[in-house]
Amino acid sequence: MTEPKARRALGSGPWFHDWFQSASSPFVEPHWSDGGKFFVNYIAHPMAGSSYAYIYRQNDPLAMRLEFGQPGYFSHLAKETGIAALSSLQWEIGPMSEASIENVGMPPDRYKMAWVDMVITPSLGVAWRAGEDAVDRYVIEKLERKIDSTAGKAAIRILLNPTRAMANAMAGQKPWKRPARP
């Protein structure tokens, strides 16, 4: 009896083969740069890492109301870094990733899959998130006391906390939402 074509294509066919070829690129021919623009690698990717961290935080009841500088805040950043790193790895080389869907890193273009995205996204992303929390606590809250307009307060929150706004939108919340203060 012959194996069904779909099972053959997924099990031993080109999809798995191409995915593994693509995903192995940073390990087979390690290099830092993927040739991407500075803005993409060092601004946009960290913003994505920050959004991953915020999404994790939104779903962790123990961390939802942690404010910048409070006891437990910085130890929770380590958990968020791990989640952001796993999210970044999934996006780069996971089963639903650039490597599996687009075959980024497939020979002969192995240089398009590099370590920059897998390191910078979570590390600078969580630093970005902590920076937004600091801005929220020490800048936005002071500005909000001087602004009477609800729309103005919402705009300040979105503009000065863009990755929190993105995470809120992804959760189906208003982008300017802030967890209730303890």
Q: Which residues contact 177 (CB under 8 A, 6 or more apart)?
A: 168
Q: Which of 27, 24, 39, 56 is nearest to 164 (CA)?
A: 56
pLDDT tens string, the chain, 182 residues long: the values are 444 444 444 555 688 888 999 999 999 989 999 989 999 999 999 999 999 999 999 998 888 888 898 898 999 999 999 999 999 999 999 999 999 988 898 888 888 889 999 999 999 999 999 999 999 999 999 999 999 999 999 999 999 999 999 999 999 999 999 876 65
Tell me how far the alpha carbon of residue 122 is from its chain's centroid: 7
Burial class (CB in 10 A: 0-12, 13-18, 19+), 52: buried
Backbone region of residue 105 per phi and psi (left: phi > 0; alpha: psi in -120 to 50; beta: other values)? left
Asked if omega into 108 is within 30° of 0 (cis), the reply is yes
Q: What is the pLDDT of residue 40?
A: 95
Q: What is the pLDDT of residue 179?
A: 77
Q: In the numeric block, which tokens belong to residue 179?
A: 């967890």
Hey, CA dihedral for 151, 157, 160, 166, is it positive or negative? negative
